[in-house]
Amino acid sequence: LFTKDVTILNFWSTTCGPCVEEMPALAAFAGALPDNVQLLTVCLDGSGNAEDAQRILTEAGYEGLTLVSGDGDFLSLCAAIQYTPTTVFLDSAGVLSEHVIVGGQADLAEAYTAVVNQVLAAGGKDAISLEKD
């Protein structure tokens, strides 16, 4: 799971209006990421609402991986999420960054890229840009 320099986990729920509203921007951001950064979504109520979750993801154009359940540390992390959407950032060793984004963002790509670049800098890696040359 942590084969990239940065892994972004976006926790959301099918019943969370802001989560569903930001999903197209999240899908576009995920599609624009370079190979060394990945974004995964975690649907906190997905195991009981798989059809709703799939519909939301499909309508948004999200083509990445979505997790719906787990155990161990991942289960503990899911249980600690109090608000959705919540986005956390992990380095290549799977260490959780101190930077967490809670709630929808006016400019999702800008906010997420800033945190990704902080995680990359902490690991001695080059910053990313979503700008097309």
Distance from C-alpha of 56 to C-alpha of 84, rounded to nearest angstrom: 15
Higher pLDDT among residues 103 and 74, named by residue: 103
Q: Is 27 exposed, middle or buried (0-12, 13-18, 19+ CB in 10 A)?
A: buried
Encoded amino acid at 18, one letter: P
Angle ∠(115,96,3) on CA atoms, nearest 5: 85
**Per-residue pLDDT at 2:** 67
Q: Is residue 45 within 8 Å of residue 13, measured between CB atoms?
A: yes
Query: Cα(first)–Cα(last) distance of the chain, in Å?
Result: 29
Q: 30: which 2 tokens?
A: 């995920």
DSSP state letters, 23-41:
HHHHHHHHHH--TTEEEEE
DSSP code of 17?
A: H
Higher pLDDT among residues 29 and 72, named by residue: 29
Distance of CA 104 to the CA centre of its chain: 12
Distance from C-alpha of 83 to C-alpha of 17, rounded to nearest angstrom: 12
pTM of the model: 0.93
pLDDT in tens, 98-110: 999 999 999 999 9
Q: Is the dihedral of CA 11, 120, 114, 34 positive or negative?
A: negative
**Per-residue pLDDT at 48:** 81
